[in-house]
Amino acid sequence: MTDRTYGFDTLQVHAGARPDPATGARQTPIYQNTGYVFRDAAHAAALFNLQELGFIYSRLLNPTVAVLQERVATLEGGAGAFATASGHAAQVAALFPLMSPGDNFVASTRLYGGSVNQFNHAFKHFGWQVRFVDFEDLDALKAAIDERTRAVYCEAIANPGGYITDLAAAADIAHAAGLPLIVDNTTATPYLCRPFEHGADLVCHSTTKYLCGHATAMGGMVVDKGSFDWSASGKYPALSAPCASYHGLKFHETFGHLAFTFFGIAVTLRDLGMCQAPMNAFETLIGIETLSLRMDRHCANALKVASWLERHPAVSFVSYAGLPSSPWAARAKKYCPKGASAIFTFGLKDGYDAGVRLVEAVELFSHLANLGDTRSLRRTAMTRACGWWRRWSCSATSPTSATPAR
């Protein structure tokens, strides 16, 4: 199934899924198992040598997870994908084939705080370096790239500020330097934004969020567009040079446009072990079936609440690209024509204490560390020194949730 033949709504239900050949079950079964029986010794050898496709061990590939991988790859318009245990695991998996100790990648300053922490601190243990740059300054982005840079990384819609990256401009700069552009599309989802159509080479997701949509399953995904030339520059030996653990096989030479995906499954998941559980994949598949319906309602509700807040005398600012007043409004129409997702921030004129009172008084919104749920959520960051309070939230799909709590 391809999006050239079927529409998004059809693909979100059917892509990757077929009636179970053993039982005829129409819903994708939960293959809650670890190993798979080989037909004979030759079959086992062929699988382990990547000479034949099939299931070996669920750390590498599982039938339920395989359906999820194909579905997300199809919705994104990618050549292939592999699932991970979380969105953070997906970020490690996306960079693992590209980086060696001493290499660096350039990342946007407008990222989810957990990503900033992972990039700035945890990655140092691998010998990877990150260079944070404001992607609004394209000259600074160019200047941050040197001979040891291996990737450029950003979010399509930044969490939490709702900032929308100029993906085409970032892609042009990355490609001029012979580098892939990696885009985290968690906040937008493939329904609202299609990064591959604007020059991205790899897409990451925390499937925990909008793709699952019901706060029931952790997961991540790395999707490959399948068009980047991993052999052109010699910068990516993991994909272009002989692989010792597969008897000298060269992934890009052998698998072509699926090289990154095969490496992700056969090496990254094999050795780092951050596989997604089949039950989590099943829950996410169920969630994706209603993705377009949920995102339409999320966007409509967020715009209604943000518009109300923008007019409120106690509010000092609202940052939401869906508002006509937003500096990112034109960019939202270009990259996210169906809506700017449902995350926004706002500040109160009376500062920190007023923010505390609001957080503790709101009844409909749940205060927790998540987003993308069908329920109305709020995540808060408060800073006394700066004299302001900020909240970002994901509005619910219920029509009543668009009425601001008082």
Q: What is the mean pLDDT of residues 14-36?
A: 91
Q: Which domain holds residue 171?
A: 8-288
Triad 78, 3, 9: Cα angle to 5° = 115
Segment among 14-23, 125-134, 303-312, 366-375 with least mean pLDDT: 366-375
What's the CATH code of the domain at 77? 3.40.640.10
Share of the chain above pLDDT 90, in %: 79
Q: What is the mean pLDDT of residues 228-241?
A: 97
Comparing CA positions, the residue from 64, 67, 80 lying closest to residue 15 is 67
371 pLDDT band (50/70/90 cuts)?
A: confident
Q: 2 in a domain, yes or no?
A: no
- Taking only the tens place, the pLDDT of each residue in 244-286 is 999 999 999 999 999 999 999 999 999 999 999 999 999 999 9
For 252, 327, 406, the CA distances from 249, given in Å and listed in that order, are 9, 49, 63
The dihedrals phi and psi of 144, each to the nearest 5 degrees, come to -75, -15
Amino acid at 85: A
373 pLDDT band (50/70/90 cuts)?
A: confident
Assess whether pLDDT exceeds 60 at residue 101: yes
Assess whether pLDDT exceeds 60 at residue 174: yes
- Taking only the tens place, the pLDDT of each residue in 340-369 is 999 888 889 988 888 888 888 887 777 777
What six digits make up the tokens of 195? 């990064």
Pairwise CA distance, residues 95 & 220, whole Å: 14
The domain boundary residue, chosen from 239, 263, 288: 288
- Taking only the tens place, the pLDDT of each residue in 197-223 is 999 999 999 999 999 999 899 999 999
For 206, 251, 347, 352, 383, the CA distances from 379, given in Å and listed in that order, are 17, 42, 13, 15, 14
Q: Are 231 and 327 found together in one domain? A: no
Q: Are 251 and 329 found together in one domain? A: no
Q: What is the mean pLDDT of the chain?
A: 90
* Residue found under tokens 């401009």: 169
Assess whether pLDDT exceeds 70 at residue 33: yes
Query: What pLDDT was estimated at residue 380?
Result: 55
Q: In sequence order, what DSSP letters do the residues of 265-324 get, joined into one string?
A: IIIIIHHH--PPPHHHHHHHHHHHTTHHHHHHHHHHHHHHHHHHHHH-TTEEEEE-TTST
Query: What pLDDT was estimated at residue 351?
Result: 87
The domain boundary residue, chosen from 288, 306, 339: 288
Query: What pLDDT was estimated at residue 396?
Result: 34
**Omega into 404 within 30° of 0, i.e. cis?**
no
Assess whether pLDDT exceeds 60 at residue 2: no
- Taking only the tens place, the pLDDT of each residue in 293-305 is 999 999 999 999 9
Q: Are 252 and 184 found together in one domain? A: yes
397 pLDDT band (50/70/90 cuts)?
A: very low
What's the CATH code of the domain at 314? 3.90.1150.10
Query: What pLDDT was estimated at residue 377?
Result: 66
Query: What pLDDT was estimated at residue 82?
Result: 98
For 111, 162, 371, 393, the CA distances from 368, given in Å and listed in that order, are 19, 19, 9, 10
Pairwise CA distance, residues 25 & 18, whole Å: 9
Query: What pLDDT was estimated at residue 401?
Result: 39
Tally of domains within the chain: 2
Query: What pLDDT was estimated at residue 394?
Result: 36
378 pLDDT band (50/70/90 cuts)?
A: low
Q: Are 274 and 345 found together in one domain? A: no
Element (H, E) at 183: strand 181-184
226 pLDDT band (50/70/90 cuts)?
A: very high
A 10 A CB-CB count for 338 gives: 16
Instruction: Considering only residues 401 and 225, tell me which one the structure prediction assigns the higher pLDDT.
Output: 225
Assess whether pLDDT exceeds 80 at residue 187: yes
Q: 1 in a domain, yes or no?
A: no
Q: Are 367 and 382 found together in one domain? A: yes
- Taking only the tens place, the pLDDT of each residue in 130-154 is 999 999 999 999 999 999 999 999 9
Query: What pLDDT was estimated at residue 375?
Result: 67
Q: What is the mean pLDDT of residues 369-375?
A: 74
The domain boundary residue, chosen from 264, 288, 312: 288
Q: 388 in a domain, yes or no?
A: yes
Q: Are 91 and 57 found together in one domain? A: yes
